[in-house]
Amino acid sequence: MAYNITHGQASGEKKGVGMKEHRIRINEVSWNKLVAMSNKQFDAHERMEQAIDLLYDNYIFQQTNFDYSEDIRSRLSSIESLLQGMDTDLL
């Protein structure tokens, strides 16, 4: 089983104009590693940094309208809220 983490970024003046979709496809083992990182032994900043490093180093990025000159870390900053909201009991 694989999981997709997707978030949109609006860059146009009108709603829906210039939307970019950033999709990260990860496998179940890697997803479980992300969930494990979401526990309370790390503060939010440490969890975000570890998750971004894990994603940056190990995962396949499938994206549309992707600007490769962008800093990948800034585009993945939303991972912090993902980790904070995870319920480890569900997996």
Residue 49 reports pLDDT greater than 50: yes
Q: Is 50 exposed, middle or buried (0-12, 13-18, 19+ CB in 10 A)?
A: middle
Q: How far apart are CA 21 and CA 33, in angstroms?
A: 24
Residue 29 reports pLDDT greater than 60: yes
What SS3 class is residue 90? helix
- pLDDT digit string (tens) for 55-64? 665 544 444 4
Contact between 35 and 41 (Cβ < 8 Å): no
- pLDDT digit string (tens) for 50-88? 777 666 655 444 444 444 445 555 556 666 656 666 555
pLDDT at 64: 42
Asked whether the whole model's pTM tops 0.75, one would answer no
Strand partners, 6: 23
Q: Indicate left, alpha or beta for 23 from its phi (over 0: left) and psi (-120 to 50: alpha).
A: beta
